Amino acid sequence: MSLFSEGEPIRDTRAPDGSIKGRWDQRRFGGKLVNPANRRKLSVIVVGTGLAGGAAAATLGELGYHVKSFCYQDSPRRAHSIAAQGGINAAKNYRNDGDSIQRLFYDTVKGGDYRSRESNVYRLAQVSVEIIDQCVAQGVPFAREYGGLLDTRSFGGVQVSRTFYARGQTGQQLLLGAYQALERQVAAGTVEMFTRHEMLELIIVDGVARGIIARDMVTGEIETHTADAVVLASGGYGNVFFLSTNAKGCNVTATWRAHRKGALFANPCYTQIHPTCIPQSGEHQSKLTLMSESLRNDGRVWVPVEKGDTRKPADIPEDERDYYLERIYPSFGNLVPRDIASRAAKNVCDEGRGVGPGGLGVYLDFQDAIARLGRDAVAGKYGNLFEMYERITGDDPFEVPMRIYPAVHYTMGGLWVDYDLQSTIPGLFVIGEANFSDHGANRLGASALMQGLADGYFVLPNTISDYLAKGPYEKIDDDHEAVVEARASVTDRIEKLLSIDGDRTPDSFHRELGAVMWEYCGMERTEEGLRKAIDRIRELRAEFWSSVKVPGENEELNQNLEKAGRIADFLELAELMCIDALHREESCGGHFRAESQTPDGEALRDDENFAYAAAWEYTGEAPVLHKENLEYEYVKMTQRSYK
Amino acid sequence: MKLTLKIWRQRNAADKGRMASYELDDVSPDMSFLEMLDVLNERLIIEGDDPVAFDHDCREGICGMCSLVIDGTAHGPQRATTTCQLHMRHFKDGDVITIEPWRASAFPVIKDLVVDRSAFDRIIQAGGYVSAPTGSAPEAASIPIPQADAHDAFDAATCIGCGACVAACPNASAMLFTAAKITHLGLMPQGQPERYGRVTAMVDQMDAEGFGGCTNTGECTSVCPKGIPLETISRLNADLLKATAKG
Amino acid sequence: MSWTYQKIGHMFRNVSSVSRSTPVAAPRRPQAPSTAALPRRLYRSSVGKKAVMAVTGGILVLFLVGHMLGNLKVFLGRADFDHYAHWLRTIGEPALPHRVFLTIMEAVLTVAVILHMWSAVSLARRARQARPVRYAVRPKAQEHRYATHVMRYGGIIILLFVIWHLLDLTFGVVNPKSGGAEPYDKVVADFDPSRWYITVFYVIAVVMVGLHLKHGLWSAFQTLGWGRQRRYRGLHLFADVVAALLVIGFVAVPVMVTIGVVK
């Protein structure tokens, strides 16, 4: 049986025609509006309270809709957007350095390796300017110049300084801004907040999204929440790899449940792997921590020339070190883009030259920088990062080279949405990292925060009114057939999980799944490996459903029950990721197929055959592929080169 | 390393709770404290015992979810470090480690080491924001802010809302948390119009939640993983007294 | 792995009383400015109560400074000391009637002491309610300031001392001399070498007062909104110096009497 079949192509019908510059204006003008007096009669469920979900819930509340906001954490302020370090891009051109909306648009499309939708990306660049205004008005403490004006820096290899930042905690400060706006609406009574609640199913009535089934994680109560529209802002699925820079709770359940109910899932194989993370220290490792990319500005990456060299780094003489990035990429050296640096590290470790426990690490050495700039200057630039590194590893980077290794960081894929950010299920909107819309096959640094807030503050609140204007929809009772069915599927699943009483913990499955995904669907993918992975994932899934042991009961705080449910969904998503990676026989952005590379080992795109977004339909059997053809009217496709 | 863990176990809010003792003999010094608890939990599950519930999420010291009192100190022995960033190399073979939840009536225990910190959200709801509805913002560059003010505001804004300040305070006071937000917004021009209403409403809510009063012991700032300075509390005091005088 | 149940007595308090059956209501938008009178507005919040403590504490510290300076007149001899004591009753004469100033001062001090204690008790009760279940491991004081942690018990000791002190040297109830005796005589009789234990008691009490002020003075600045990172060293130094001078000044008199320098 083949792994998938191909269905009808899919197309975005919401973006207006005409010049790309005027499309967003046109769309806002063309959409229906809701009379302010009627808005409180319309309800919207927002799942997730990160930058996208928090901003959307707050803004919809301000507009006067009745919003129900859900998060699995104990407070909306803890969503994982909070961990973003670098900054947020905006085409303000405050530096007068040639930036513009057009350039941000161009950089984003190119950075995405020509696998994103032009209309959406152009709108993102347009809206970026308003985001900064909004955040400043909320009191977000962005970095300032001496004169009191906003500071910016260049980030991620672009040539303009368009990244606004708040020390190394930009995500935190932006999220707190959205969180405070959200809490203001909670106090105003427009937003009802449900913390420690996890969405476990989508309610669909007559083909339209009408609500969710959520579990109160404290009491175990299975709750039905209905509304006129549902917004998923539940983040990415990087935790399918078990080890990633995501928070432990990040999961795919909300989007996967929607996918199973008919929402197409696009480009699941596009994952971004960040080269500078602190490597695993042992079997017990539970997550990976990102170290700022800026470290590569002064650190030199190397491994021993000899395999299995266990000498201390200081004992390895200069001529027995391989500064492989400088060797392979003489012009960019240690500053090659994320995907290239990551893959090169993997290659040297695969050769058996990796350092540290398990041979999964490469040195990032500051000895030259210390000799050249002096210890104080290095401390001034990287002091807090060195401290963070020492806190985790116990090693002082002034004395011993850092060890770094790539880790899964962001997932570009997600539920397929149109220009309105509406999925293929009417009434189901998807925003932020949960959708697939703006980053193509690779996301640029400092663009995740931009997209989350663009979707949440500006795009969704405008596009959703066109949908809501057709409401209010008929009230759904708890005994409606669709509700009963959705509830039953949730309770059946929970009962099943609790009743298996096998001999393996949920985490043991997650670890094993992660290892398979990292090995075969990680930095480098091959047909053979992906086929192997699909087989293994299927076995693992069967094993999970026969031998997982979930302790405790539903009617209590049960963290292992939560985990088990999420892992069950990861076990299904993982297969789709591998199928997507297998079918895309080209390399692009975060997806590197060993079979598709240039003679000197670089990613080779196949625009002829793969210039489309792959949107997958769930069938329960082999998924059905719907292609959205990507047309580039404004940006010309070219091959990237960093040699 | 071999360790003895004494952990507070409490099935739910209604349960009385008790200390339970566990032996763990394969602890690596490279583990984080929470990874050490993960190892314990994996064993408890296989042995048919109830694993220990504890809050955690980002495990990189920024979300503020982790919350353990370790040997009497909120977030454990290493300064300016959240529990999730604390590593076992700070303990020795044979140590007996006592782990308890945040203790405050405003933070009722939900289960084991998990407490309900929604009181913090309600303090923010009372006024911990600038009323700036989406779309109403003026051009960002039209609000210059002296760098020093931006710097001090930032120091206060780094609060992660973990609640260690409450846990460590002999009075279980939430002043440092509240003061951090008052200071962050009070130092910025955007925060001025609501400044005095904000401080009164937030302090009222803080008191209504049942937190203790501040007696300037400084315990809060010394356990704060983000080092929120004590002067934020004095700034809150100044604002509150001005607000009170204004009526 | 074993479940060994440790019976730690105080942990068996009724934990369910900690969990709220009805959660605190979410706040609404900040209300319009309160129209209540200032004292009411002030006393409503925990911060206001601390401000009351700071101001009343400040009044008491000023009194202590004056009191100490007066005491030191003992070293100028019997005549000076008794004259000073008498003068206290005649301040403001003839504009004010006899002893009116002193009475006003006594009233102010009494009100200050009552407000100070009332606030302290109210905050202590609030603190007790705020942590109904204590830690099994006594929290390590991260801030190693002994003075900070003895404010409440220290305050009670000071109160008991003040009561003794008034009965002793003001009313003469527990003094070897009668209430009507000259002040100088009362002091000398009180701290006679044979009554060395009274002197010891006074010294301990005065040291308690010093510790109370060491934290209290600094704390008052912090409470009244003047505490800033850059001023903390100075404020701590100021509080320590004032506390030290007061201790030395107050201890000097009984000690010198007991060792026979003042007769």
Closest in B61, B63, B139 to A133, CB measured: B139
Residue A325 has φ and ψ, to the nearest 5°, of -70, -40
**Residues A613-622: pLDDT tens digits?**
999 999 999 9
SS3 A274: strand
Residues 6 or more apart whose Cβ sits within 8 Å of residue A572:
A256, A541
Q: Assess contact for A155 and A86: CB atoms under 8 A.
A: yes
User: What does the domain layout of chain A look like in residue ranges?
Assistant: 274-409, 481-610
pLDDT for res C247: 98
Choosing among 3.10.20.30, 3.40.50.2300, 3.40.630.10, 2.40.50.140, the CATH entry for B3-111 is 3.10.20.30
Question: A218 is written with which tokens?
Answer: 């404290």
- Between CA C66 and CA C71 the distance in angstroms is 9
SS3 B97: strand
β-sheet bridge partners, residue B96: B4
Question: Catalytic: which of A338, A487, A536, A566?
Answer: A338
Q: Which of A203-217, A405-419, B47-61, C134-148 shows the lowest per-residue confidence on average (mean pLDDT)?
A: C134-148
Instruction: Please report, as a single letter, which amino acid is at residue A105.
Output: F
Neighbours of A584 (CB within 10 A): 23
Which chain C residue has the Cα nearest residue A184?
Answer: C29
Q: CA-CA distances (angstroms) from residue B35 to A7, A387, A481, C11?
A: 45, 20, 44, 27
CA distance A121 to A406: 27
Crossing angle of helices B118-125/B195-208, nearest 10°? 150
CB contact under 8 A, B63 and A183: no
The chains in contact with chain A, meaning 3 or more Cβ pairs closer than 8 Å, are: B, C
B30 touches chain A (CB under 8 A): yes
Instruction: Please check whether residue A187 touches C, CB under 8 A.
Output: yes
Q: How many CB atoms lie within 10 A of CB A380?
A: 10
Average pLDDT over residues B173-195: 97
pLDDT (average), residues B151-171: 96
Give the whole-angstrom CA distance, residue A63 versus residue A36: 7
Q: Do B214 and C27 touch (CB under 8 A)?
A: no
d(CA A633, CA C67) in angstroms, rounded, equals 89
**Between β-strands A414-415 and A362-365, what pairing exists: parallel, antiparallel or unpaired?**
unpaired
Grade residue C40 by pLDDT with cuts at 50, 70 and 90: confident
For the stretch A466-493, pLDDT in tens is 999 998 899 999 999 999 999 999 999 9
- The pLDDT, as a whole number, for residue A642 is 67
The predicted structure's pLDDT at residue C148? 81
> Which residues of chain B does C42 touch, with a Cβ-Cβ cutoff of 8 Å?
244
pLDDT category at C17 given cuts 50, 70, 90 is very low
How near does any CA of chain C get to the CA of B57, in Å?
24
Going from N- to C-terminal start, the domains of chain B cover 3-111, 117-133+143-246
Known active-site residue A338: yes
User: Is the CB of B157 less than 8 angstroms away from the CB of A94?
Assistant: no
- Tell me what pLDDT residue C25 has: 57
Q: What is the 3-state secondary structure (H, E, C) of A592-615?
A: CECCCECCCCCECCCHHHHCEEEE
Chain C residue at shortest CA distance from B202: C30
| pLDDT tens string B78-133 | 999 999 999 999 999 999 999 999 999 999 999 999 999 999 999 999 999 999 99
pLDDT in tens, A507-561: 999 999 999 999 999 999 999 999 999 999 999 999 999 999 999 999 999 999 9
Q: What is the least distance, in Å, from the CA of C128 to any CA of chain A? A: 26
The encoded tokens of residue C229 equal 């990172």
C177-195 tens-digit pLDDT: 877 889 999 999 999 999 9
Name the amino acid, one letter, at A150: L
Decide if the complex's ipTM is over 0.90.
Answer: yes
| Whether residue A252 has pLDDT greater than 80 | yes
The Cα–Cα gap between A406 and A339 comes to: 9
| Closest chain B CA to residue A560 | B51
* Per-residue pLDDT reduced to its tens digit, C47-97: 999 999 999 999 999 999 999 999 999 999 999 999 999 999 999 888 999
**pLDDT digit string (tens) for A136-163?**
999 999 999 999 999 998 887 688 999 9
| The listed CATH number (3.40.50.2000, 3.40.50.1980, 3.40.50.920, 3.90.700.10) that belongs to domain A274-409 | 3.90.700.10
Identify all chain A residues contacting B195, using CB atoms and an 8 Å cutoff: none
Architecture of domain C45-131+146-258: Up-down Bundle (1.20)
Neighbouring residues of A498: CB distance < 8 A, sequence distance ≥ 6: A550, A552, A553, A554, A561
What fold characterizes domain B117-133+143-246?
Fumarate Reductase Iron-sulfur Protein; Chain B, domain 2 (1.10.1060)
CATH of A481-610, one of 1.20.58.390, 1.10.375.10, 1.20.58.100, 2.40.50.140: 1.20.58.100
Tokens standing for residue B45: 């599950």
Question: Across residues C144-153, what is the average pLDDT?
Answer: 79
Shortest Cα distance, chain B CAs vs residue A625, angstroms = 34
Separation of CA A468 from chain center: 28
Asked if C30's CB is within 8 angstroms of B200's CB, the reply is yes
CB B126 within 8 A of CB B204: yes
Closest CA in chain A for residue C27? A187
Rounded to the nearest angstrom, the minimum Cα separation between B16 and chain C is 5
pLDDT of residue C1: 35
Place of tokens 């189901």: A428
Confidence of residue A1 (pLDDT cuts 50, 70, 90): low
Is residue C139 classed as helix, strand or coil in its secondary structure? coil
pLDDT band at C26 (very low <50, low <70, confident <90, very high): low
Specify which residues A612 forms β-bridges with. A629
Instruction: Return the H-helix or E-strand segment holding A271.
Output: strand A271-277
Question: Read out DSSP for A136-176?
Answer: HHHT----B-TTSSBPEE--TT-SS--EE--TT-HHHHHHH
CA-to-CA distance for A140 and A175, rounded, in angstroms? Answer: 9
Answer positive or negative: Cα dihedral of C220, C222, C226, C228.
positive
HSE, CB side, 13 Å, CA atoms: give it for residue A365. 22
Residue partners of A25: CB distance under 8 A and separation at least 6: none
